[in-house]
Structure 1
């Protein structure tokens, strides 16, 4: 079953991708996630343009960033700053299991949504907060995006930038957000479990800064142990172990080798690539010699891989027991048979009947993929959700006319 969280209700007051992606994961796992959006425009991610991809040039009537972080949810439009809107929001919270937000502490306080106030609505609700820099300290109210809080401040860019690079490593869109979101979803699940066991409704906190530090924890630990900036790394294209490196093929593709136990795999690997001579070359055996002569070994492997196209190497290495992989393009990942077999993509149909694919949360239960669901339109479920709360049509109409809801 994929719906382990069936019956769990999450009220999400969050925008962009980091915290909303936690809500998407919870929805994939069966939770009813109600996304509360402001009546003055909703989540700004709905209008986000990434890489100049503004919706033209594709028949799909959906924003791909919104789909990733919001599929499976229901959207309601509420002005929680109005008296009527706040009362409706209180009704939502009253029978929810989780309140999920990326609003900063000072903003929550100004909105009258402190922990104490939320618990007045519902003493058993789990409060989950995701921020740029954590809920305490001098920068708790400083906004954050993953490019700054995760990649830059947490040390990720510094740790992953080759020593000879002119510019620091740059991340792709939502790179830290999505890692942080799945971590936050896991924390919420743990809090739900603890509440069932003990009755205690925990406050769950995570941040992009914490997630980035976790991503490069080995470098941070080594920095403390050895009083260095990071784990030593060579120039781009080099590695301390030449059997753990990337090699360019004749058709300008790349093969990533990960023979961490080189002594175990080296001889067979050399035979498979047609270089049995390297397996007996005293410069490269045992492993200590291979590492000592890494530059010479790397030159030999570069020359060998450059002699054939990627297709040749995929066939030559098909039975290689050591770990390796083609450096795939995102377009190739769409049609990876292993991706298909495991249901890592869901196929959804837009309002015009066009199919499109989006990535599901990276955790499944009982080998069952999440059911395909799209992201909600802005305020799409406002009336439905309010009727579920017991509101009458006359009250809903009045709230619409006053601007308290969409």
Structure 2
């Protein structure tokens, strides 16, 4: 049994951010009903080109990532008949999840008071670009604008002298992080309702999530009065620790050392790179000497590590005591045995998808595929108790797909 078995989520949302919260809740066992426009569906379904990658045909990972394990109902909530169905669904839901802006929530009759009128105990969760208060509460945005650019990551990751600004590392990067935050908030609100009987309104924004991701650097910046500035590309990570930084291997790949106590690990590293004599070198034989001679130690490590491939060093470093990791791309992670052992990548229909990061009782979630557009419309309406005459009438009126 998963923690959210028996919880029903009614999702009225589009694109990546808020639907990814629904995907996490589905991973945790919730029954997530995705409401899509009766004709056009979620615009995300039309997304084929992302960066340099283009997807032809189905399944489409651009849809599957944020919508796996849900059921889809095509519903036109601008029509009175469609709104009546939505309210009936809300009566039987535990969570109402939406990405709609305040003006559209009011226009379609799906704001907090509207939904609470039909279900006073429902947890109402909304994802926004800039938060529920302030002069921009009614503005829309995307992870590139609100999470990446405005919250500080883009400027903080772009080295001085770079021509332009570094883009997010992947599509829906800030969306997925923010969606996980929203799912966690919903889970906490469900626990509060269980204990007190009181439902909550849960708010998560891309801007707030971006700031949280940059929280350490932001705190330092505000305390010291200067922005976080990254080192130039290729600079060793630490000026006082040769075992905290990136090193290139002979095949053009890299590995990362993050050993915060270099004196503790130096001798072991020297043995693993077949240079045991360096452990007793007077330049490096104490933690203080290592700090003072970091530049020389880095130079030696760069020369040695550049003599073998990443695969060769990975085999050699399997018994290395200090923390290190290969620098892997988004394809190489599929061959990582540690990722496979923990089932962080799982089958979902015809695709493999990344599981949401929380596991319960050392068990990976079951990932179902994303639903085809409106695929469960009749099934969900029949569960509500509507008969076929009513369903046909709704279809004829254009209220459901």
**TM-score range, shorter-chain basis?**
over 0.9
- Report SS of the residue matched to 1:314: helix
| Among 182, 185, 188, the residue aligned to 1:184 | 182
Q: 2:68·2:348 contact (CA, 8 Å) conserved in 1?
A: no
- What is the aligned partner in structure 1 of residue 344 from structure 2? 344
The answer as to whether partners of 2:74 and 2:377 remain within 8 angstroms in 1 is: yes
Q: Where does residue 271 of structure 2 map in the other structure? A: 271
Matches within 5 A, 1:128-207: 128-171=125-168, 172-207=170-205
The Cα of 1:280 is off from its aligned counterpart by 3.3
SS in 2 for 1:130: strand
* 1:86-125 pair list within 5 angstroms: 86-125=83-122
CA distance in structure 2 between the partners assigned to 1:314 and 1:74 by the alignment: 43
* 1:251 partnered with 2:248: no
Deviations 1:38-87 (A, max 9, x none): 1231111111121354334xxx7301021110000000011101010000
Contact 1:237 1:245 in 2 (8 A): no
Asked if the contact 1:127/1:202 (under 8 Å) is kept, the reply is yes
Q: Mark the runs of 5 or more structure 2 residues left unpaired by the alignment.
A: none
Tell me the residue number matched to 1:29. Answer: 28
Match of 2:364 among 362, 369, 380: 369
TM-score (norm. length: structure 2): 0.95
Distance 2:215 2:286 in 1: 30
Does 1:236 pair with 2:227?
no
Unaligned runs of 5+ in 1: 350-354
TM-score normalised over the length of structure 1: 0.94
Q: CA deviation at 1:159?
A: 1.9
Contact 1:13–1:37, Cα closer than 8 Å, also in 2 = yes
The alpha-carbon distance between structure 1 residues 316 and 133, as it changes in their structure 2 partners (threshold 3 A), is same
- Retained in 1: the 8 A contact 2:242–2:262? no
1:165–1:236 CA contact under 8 A, matched in 2: no
CA RMSD of aligned residues (A): 1.6
Aligned partner of 1:75 among 68, 72, 75: 72
Alignment of 1:376-387 (within 5 A): 376-387=371-382
**1:287/1:43 Cα in 2 relative to 1: closer, same or farther (>3 Å)?**
farther
Distance 1:22 1:278 in 2: 51
Q: Deviations over 1:329-353 (max 9, x none)?
A: 222211322222222222133xxxx
1:170-192 CA-partner distances (Å, limit 9, x unpaired): 21211111111111111100000
Q: CA deviation at 1:289?
A: 4.2
Deviation, 1:365, is 0.8
> Does the residue aligned with 1:40 lie in a helix, a strand or coil?
coil
Which residue of the partner structure matches residue 322 of structure 1?
A: 322
Aligned length, in residue pairs: 396
Deviation for aligned residue 1:301: 1.6
Q: Quick check: 1:225 aligned with 2:223? A: yes
Change (3 A) 1:113 1:201: same
Post-superposition offset of 1:33: 0.1
Seen in structure 2, the aligned counterparts of structure 1 residues 274 and 189 have a Cα distance that, compared at 3 Å, is same
Q: Deviations 1:284-320 (Å, cap 9, x if unpaired)?
A: 4544443444333322221111111112211221111
Residue 59 of structure 2 is aligned to residue 62 of structure 1: yes
The DSSP-based 3-state class of the residue aligned with 2:149 is coil
Whole-Å Cα distance in 2 between the matches of residues 137 and 257 of structure 1? 43
CA distance in structure 2 between the partners assigned to 1:175 and 1:88 by the alignment: 34
The 1-side partners of 2:163 and 2:52 are apart by 25
